[in-house]
Structure 1
Amino acid sequence: MVRILLLFFVLLKLPVYAQDIKSLENKLHHLAQQREKWSHSQEEKSYDSLAKYNKELEVLILKFTANNPKTLSHQFDKEKVGLDILTSNDGLFRIYTWNTMEGGTMQYFRSVYQYNVAGKVHSMTSDTPEEDNGCRFLEINDLTVAGKRYYLTTSISVGSSALYYYQAKIFSVESGKLNPNAKLIKTKTGIKNVIGYEIDLSSSSNRDRKDGVEPRDYMKMLYDQKDKTILIPLINADGRVTKSKIKYQLKGLYFEKI
């Protein structure tokens, strides 16, 4: 009898979750439309309106992702909702990212992190400093080191049509909370949470080169899942992007340069 009652209550909740998800998708779609509208508007109030809808979007995502566990696995229509959504292989960590459209050639991004601890979902913002334009996350890679779960992310920040910053960043879940500052990368200056590099395609070393190499073809950060290796382009002292790679491979407890 107890099992029957439990099943009844579970089934009773399913339509509610479905309605919640549908409501969320509709609201996200509305905000995506409003942000697109005001990003192209020439009206005096356009910037304030765009900022307002970006804030509403962040509050909405935080609210739903912290209260509805179905959002962690739901397959959103990314174009419709105006979000980039990445999910870890284990299904316990997700990143929602969006371009605020408040910049020009410099692009501004905001992110919300969602994670599962013991069956309960939580969410938090990326807490990007005001002077930082944020980043667009490109990948989440699951890692297990010494029996502990980590997530290696790669991202890109856009400073202009020619200026980019790529970064690998480590996350973990510790003591029931997401730790966005987990350290797993061993460098000459210590154990780090992030490793990154800047690309300036407007520099003469990249703009005026005569070797037939297109810097854009070699400037991206890559992660080799099979060999657990972060691949970073070798950049000369003058900023010139080369075909060569710097490699940080997971060896024992840390990523180390090989």
Structure 2
Amino acid sequence: MKKLIAGLALFYCNAAFSQTIITTAAAEKKLVVAFKALNHWVSFKDASNKDSLQEANRYFRESLLAVTSTDPASLTYDFKALEQEGLKIASSEDKTFRIYSWPSGGGTARFGNIYQYKIGNKVTAVLKEDVAGAPGYWYSEVYPKKAGGKNYYIGISNATYSEHDTYQGIRIFATDRNGLNDTLSIIKTDKQLSPELGFTYDINTVAKKRGKPVDLIEYDDETGTLTFPDVAEDGTVKNKKLKYRFVGRYFVNVKE
């Protein structure tokens, strides 16, 4: 009898899992259609298509937000078809935080973002609203860090401003019982406290990786150290490195 109960439990567990995968996979198919439509209007440079672009972007972001905020399985689902169409997905290794980024049009630096995270057993997703005139970033990596009762996440942000000028930086996120905080100023520079730190450089001065971002920022989880390149005023990336280490409550510049 015990074997029968165990067998039935396993059957229903597998059935529930399969149903979740099918549901998420079906949602991805619809998202791919919406994303292709958005990419179509993003490709146009004519300002007369502005209304169509805005509507396509609104529909895609609301559709993606609906899936990521109501389907917990989406936090760890491999959206291969969407990534092939150009959606950027950066996930933390502990599978509790993810950032979705997509080109929203209006210039090379315009990106939309959705932050998805897990606190306890609950998965939540929030849309990062576009700010007029502000640069839009897409994220290539997310590194998790636990400290002081908080779950911190270090997002590697990227943007392209021209054929030469490229941006890379970090932004700190944190989750606790109150939700997500993306304005946590725990990076100490010589001038201020900030939730982000980055640099603009000439991408032609570094070796490029085909189809992948140039990873100029490194993170060592064991020592809690972020390593940045030193960049000259003309955008040339130099061999010298700048380091910020997590000490107590802040990332502080380490003089070596």
Among candidates 34, 54, 57, match of residue 54 of structure 1: 57
| Contact 1:73/1:91 (<8 A) preserved | yes
Q: Offset at 1:189?
A: 2.6
What TM-score does the superposition give when structure 2 sets the normalisation length?
0.81
Among candidates 244, 248, 255, match of residue 244 of structure 2: 248
Q: Aligned ranges for residues 85-100 of structure 1 at < 5 Å?
A: 85-100=89-104
Structure 1 residues 42, 155: closer, same or farther in 2, change over 3 A? closer
Q: Aligned ranges for residues 1-258 of structure 1 at < 5 Å?
A: 13-14=16-17, 16-40=19-43, 46-77=49-80, 78-80=82-84, 82-103=86-107, 106-199=108-201, 215-217=205-207, 221-225=216-220, 226-237=222-233, 239-258=235-254
Q: Offset at 1:72?
A: 0.5
Structure 1 residues 55, 189: closer, same or farther in 2, change over 3 A? same
| Contact 2:93/2:143 (<8 A) preserved | yes
What TM-score does the superposition give when structure 1 sets the normalisation length?
0.80
Q: Offset at 1:216?
A: 2.7
Let me know the Cα RMSD of the aligned residues: 3.0
AA partner of residue 38 (structure 2):
R
Aligned partners of 1:102, 1:236: CA distance in 2, in Å?
A: 29
Q: Offset at 1:181?
A: 1.5
Task: Show structure 2 runs of 5+ residues with no match.
Answer: 209-213
Identity %: 26
| Contact 1:229/1:249 (<8 A) preserved | yes
AA partner of residue 159 (structure 2):
S
**Helix, strand or coil: the match of 2:134?**
coil
Q: Offset at 1:180?
A: 0.8
| Contact 1:247/1:257 (<8 A) preserved | yes
